[in-house]
Structure 1
Amino acid sequence: MLSGMNDFENEPVFDYRTINERFQQRLLEAQKTANEKEIEADLNLAGSPDLPDAVDPLETERQILEAQVARAEKDVEELKKQVADRKARRLREAALLKMTPEERARVVEEQEKAAEEGMPIDDDVDDMDVVFEYLLHIGETPLPRNAANMSRTDLMSSHAEFRTRAMQDPEVEKQGEFAHLRFTEAKNRLTPNPNGQGEIRSCELIGETYQQSFKICFDVYEPNFVVDNLVFDLSIEMQLDCGSILQEIVDESDLLAFFRLLVHYARLDDERKKVFNQLKEKLADTRITLLPMAEDRLKFQSNRNDEPELYLLWKTKVIESEHADLDANICERVLPDIRMEADTSEKWSLVDEKGVMDHLPTHFTQTMKLKGVFLATLIMVDAVFDMGLA
């Protein structure tokens, strides 16, 4: 016998019957009640003093009580039989959890053979009304210690299946596409609050946004829902670029500001990677070679020694706020810093008599505002390497 099966006896019996079966039982109960009233009326009539064969009223009451006791004992026997059948069914279903896929397949084959031979099979669990009622039943039970884990659970496999279906729901996927946030794992742990009433909910969220993973841990003090003890696990680039703002978020325990900043920074990083990849594909079959100097720096180099070198720099700058608290426009404090620079060595300074290289950063910035980063880069690259400098 599986461990914990004795606990089923203390639980309320779950009704596996369909709605039609329950309706039929209620109809039978109504018929029994009507019959009892009819019998009681007949007995009362038989005991009427106006009739010559009147009997003792106490005898009439005794007969009524005996009839009621007989029906009650019959109902009790039927209920005992139903409880025994349901316990046996629970044991069979619990035993399936320990079976291998091959053993389960054999059980299914045996059930199919029994159905072909005309033997009754208990398959009313496929009734959708019963499934819905079962969902409500287990929804009222206490969740496991790691209830919000979306990848695995220590309660029962059905909980994991329900979470998987919920995360694959079209509405949930639409919300994920709109917010660009996808949570892969969540953990909750409740502990008593040593400093007061209520409990402390320790939360852990793991996910990704724009292909950039993150992890955040925080505590929620219930019942006031005060957030505290924020801890981040982010990319080293974001920690270096946005360290001051992240510290403000930690000081104020502002979850909304954190997710706004996270999605905004990840989007900027994703746009930079896309532009760099587009430039590599566009210049793949030309005499210009792209060399990634760093995550935020590209070098454009010609195969000719008499031409200069260009550098595309795409960094992230943080604007310090004059306000003491975080404002709603936190994303406006993190902006891309995109520049183009040329080789400023003495060799090219002597060749560039018109000072084209000196004006290159300004021309690139103006063109970028009109054409975007990708087209502005192509225009500058073409202008520099087709200048014919000696």
Structure 2
Amino acid sequence: IHARPDIKRYRESGFHQDLNFFYFTGIQNLTNAILAVDGNLKESWLFVPTGVEGLQQLAGTTISDDAGEAFAAIGRATGIEHVVSWDRFQEYIDKGVSSRFYVATAAASGEDRTADSNPPGMRPIHGSEVLWYESLRERWPGAEFASAATMIREMRSIKDETEIAALRRAGVASSKALLAGLLALSDGTDQRSGEAAVVAECLKSGDGISFWPWVMSGVNGVFPAPFESFGDYRHKNRIMQEGELVRVDIGCEADFYQGDVGRTAPVSGMFSDGQREAWDLLIAGYRGGLSVMRDGVSWAMVEQASREAVLAASSEAELAPKTTLGKRAVEILLSEDRMDWHHHNIGLWASEPAEATLSTGMVIDFEPMFALDGEGYYLEDMILITSDGHEILTPGLPYTSKQIEESMAGN
């Protein structure tokens, strides 16, 4: 596993370590080191170049010519058995410790799309993981390289107490940032104003943003439009208008772990009658799915509980839709193809692959969404799965249309 190969770029808020390297070492600030885990001998090696960013800080001592004292300090701090100069890495592999190596990248399985940065037949120019994999194959053409991505994904899907503590902090910061984003919405204001409010709160309450916030109004809030922002210089910025809904999809980072939370809100601070009915029916379905979340429950069971809750709510006097928009929302919420009861895991990355069955220690995002009359309806929370239920890690947020309107009014 290769550490990040370069220091932060000017536009980055801080240095971000390679996620898998951090997961296995706990080292945040170190470039270009290589971790090798020998499964046969049950030992680990860290190959470190001298003179790189973060080395002296990590070692806690001055780096001498032989770096022996510094390497010993790193070993004591990390628990890694062998910390040596990276000059010994090729010798280590050449000794024939194995003829089969697992690489912490999807590139080794052919699944990494960053390899498509050049026409067929040319070397890729984007994606350090792809370049690392290609470098290994070129240096050791006779060795077999396989992807460890699936194994590592399964390991990272279950969080320990330290990780859960970091995710709780990320969840609290993300909740505060979401509320700041809601308060920034108003007719005639651009989306960037909401983004700025979110970023400021993430820096104040957390360690920065997990991803650049989506404050997507009107047609921008309906997929695939939000994804188009990744290729747009102004992030699809537009002026928000009265009567529109806004997808506020944000996340703050804390202790290297990432948050992800969101709500749909009206630009004016008040839902229309039809929007209110559609939204509250979505909340009924969301709460129905939440009610069955616990260890051993499949996502199919969560989706079924959500649909059953929508069906029950649509027959109750309080939530039964009276407007055309509300009645159409029921049809969508109960449909198989137009409603997306989306979900994903969360941890070192804000959108990690989901597993088919919930397990104790997973932290997931439940993210149902649908489109109606050119407007997007969506929400999500960070949820810790426990043996007998679940815990919401994004506290103090509004759910119903009335609660959202009160939050936007500063209550």
The TM-score normalised by the length of structure 2 is 0.22
Kindly indicate which of the two structures has a greater share of residues assigned to helix.
Answer: 1
**Larger Rg computed on CA atoms:** 1
Question: Quick one: higher RCO (CA 8 Å, sep 6+), 1 or 2?
Answer: 2
